[in-house]
Homo-oligomer: A and B are copies of this chain.
């Protein structure tokens, strides 16, 4: 069911963009910059997250499988169970690069890095 903040199983893209991302301790570490959509298979490819203030100036954008972003009502934020060390070693690049090659390069890198099941391997259509 819809909640006061509008974050539910069904969620509008415009409400996701600019939402804060926090760590397990409730510290803000970044925010959702955009959502990459897979027009071909009708899937969400990955969220584009900026951890600039957390990882340092000039940080690039991180592709994150949406499955690892858990919305926390109390925090009004997506919570990720990742350490600074994990994020520093994670796939990241400019937004232009994240979109290049139809996004599959960074999609694959991200799903591998975060060990998320590949939705495109189980497509039945």
Contact = CB atoms under 8 A, between A and B. Distances in A.
A2 B99 contact: yes
Interface string A32-52: 001111111011110010000
Given A9-B40, A42-B43, A44-B44, 14 more contacts: A2-B102, A9-B38, A9-B103, A10-B45, A10-B104, A12-B37, A12-B95, A12-B99, A13-B34, A14-B35, A39-B66, A43-B43, A122-B124, A124-B124
- Could you say how many copies of this chain the assembly holds? 2
Interface in A13-29: 13-14, 16-17
**Which residue, of A35, A36, A95, has the highest number of chain B Cβ atoms within 10 A?**
A35
B102 A8 contact: yes
Which 9 residue pairs across A and B have the least CB separation, nearest first?
A10-B103, A13-B13, A13-B35, A10-B102, A9-B102, A122-B124, A9-B40, A12-B34, A9-B39
A11 interface: yes
A13 B37 contact: yes
